[in-house]
A and B are shown apart, each in its own frame.
Chain A
Amino acid sequence: MSGKIKNRRLKQVLGLWTTAVIILALGLPMVAHPSHWGELPLIPGLEQRARIIFFHVPTAWLSVIAFLTSMWFGIRYLRKKSPDDDIKSVTHAGLGLLFCILATVTGSIWAKFNWGSFWNWDPRETSIFVLLLIYGAYFALRSAIDVEEKRATLSAVYSIIAGVIAPFFIFILPRITAGLHPGSADDVNSGPVVSSGGMNASMRVIFYSSVAAFIGMYLWMSNLRIRATRLVQAQELESRKQ
């Protein structure tokens, strides 16, 4: 009983936490030379548009993490052949696709206002595009196989192969175009925003709080989805027996 109450409390905390992050991320003022806590730096060339970092970057990170998690459960499925691992694998892939689409859409709307066009084939846009293609292919493959064990095995194999090939883009993309993206190593305006420089302490605190909020939401959503899929599959199995 106490576990249930704790669980509910945890979700309420997550709700309040995220609300606070949204209010701070969008509400705090931006000034040219932030001197005390609660003032965000005004990055020339980005201005108010810099606020997207609190939402866009965590979704992009999560779409990669979700892909890796899905691949991890795929490997576990191949080793142990437990149907539950496949449910987890497909759930994480589905949420990954959702976050990947969110990151693409938010990024490209932002790009329209900042760079003047929705799509520029900047290296990061190319990599999110590739990630979208991989997710798309993964689900296309799943929908084309009827037998559940075969579907689980083959989609796990595909995601592992994709996971092995994806790192190649890291070596290739810098040769395609110079980066426009804030945060590219060669960005003349702001330099690498997340890894160094660009953010001050307040911004960093909000940014990582936002990442935590997104991860919390992600865990909650995947948990709901896994439980729902289990129920659906149990129901199907029951109806097939009769």
Chain B
Amino acid sequence: MIDLEVTALAKTFNRRSIFRDISVKVQSAQTLRVIGQNGAGKSTFVKILAQVLTPTSGKVKISRDGRVMKSHLHNLIGFVSPYMQLYDEFTAEENLLLSLSLRAQTVDSTAAKNLLGRVSLGGRSNDQVRTFSSGMKQRLKYAFALIHRPPILILDEPMSNLDTEGIGTVRQIMKEQQDRGILVVATNDHSDLEKFDHQVDLSGRP
């Protein structure tokens, strides 16, 4: 059981408010959609949820089985976005194993291989990421976000750079995540996530 609670979240940038006073509560097996026009702060909002950006005010609280988690929150989160970069000089498999070792979790190369097969990169697992196309990199990011089985999966523009086959895989991944924990999707394309339990609309906010 995982809970994600956002209270009175605000972020300013160059003393200009991007959004303020956003509150939402998401529980296990629920989805959250974040919408808003370009520049409305979707990426900023999901980065704050992912704990890589500190809000100007307000709180993001993650609790597991009713207990509020204080540290190592990054181990509960998987994050995919077009602006996230993987390590170019390492191979696809090394990148996944790096994720596990940095998280101080057991390094499991069979799991990594399975996951790479899942995103149809099985044949390229020993190639350096710098040789990948942008679509392949995007698919690798899904494997990268899922390798530690996070209860919260945050996707920013989930379908960018993907072909039809990739989109199918991602839909499958999103569906599985809905059964397993929390899914957060930031997108302008309403077909990405048609059914959702909660929505944050950032457009038109000060």
Binding site for B on A (CB under 8 A): 81, 83, 147-149, 233, 237, 240-241
Contacts and interface: CB of A to CB of B under 8 A. Distances in A.
B12 interface: yes
Contacts of B14: 147-149, 240
Interface in B2-20: 12-16
A148 B15 contact: yes
B16 A149 contact: no
A147 B13 contact: yes
B56 interface: yes
B48 to A, nearest CB: 14
Nearest to B11: A149
A-B pairs, 6 with minimum CB distance? A148-B14, A83-B15, A148-B15, A237-B15, A147-B14, A81-B56
A233 B15 contact: yes
B168 to A, nearest CB: 39
Contacts of B56: 81, 149
Nearest to B57: A81
17 contacts: A81-B56, A81-B57, A83-B15, A147-B13, A147-B14, A148-B14, A148-B15, A149-B12, A149-B13, A149-B14, A149-B56, A233-B15, A237-B15, A237-B16, A240-B14, A240-B16, A241-B16
Task: Determine the main DSSP class of B at the interface with A.
Answer: strand
Interface string B56-83: 1100000000000000000000000000
A230 to B, nearest CB: 12
Nearest to A233: B15
Interface size class of B (residues with CB under 8 A): under 10
Given A148-B14, A149-B13, 9 more contacts: A81-B56, A147-B13, A149-B14, A149-B15, A149-B56, A233-B15, A237-B15, A240-B14, A240-B16
Nearest to A81: B56
Contacts of B12: 149
A159 B58 CA distance: 27
A237 B17 CA distance: 11
Contacts of B13: 147, 149
Contacts of A240: 14, 16
Contacts of A237: 15-16
Contacts of A83: 15
Contacts of B15: 83, 148-149, 233, 237
Nearest to B56: A81
Nearest to A241: B16
A48 to B, nearest CB: 52
A237 B14 CA distance: 9
Nearest to B12: A149
A233 B14 CA distance: 10
A207 B16 CA distance: 47
A241 to B, nearest CB: 8
B109 to A, nearest CB: 39
A186 to B, nearest CB: 51
A147 B14 CA distance: 6
A117 B22 CA distance: 65
A83 B16 CA distance: 11
A148 B13 CA distance: 7
A241 B206 CA distance: 10
B39 to A, nearest CB: 14
Contacts of A241: 16
A37 B186 CA distance: 79
Nearest to A234: B15
Nearest to A236: B15
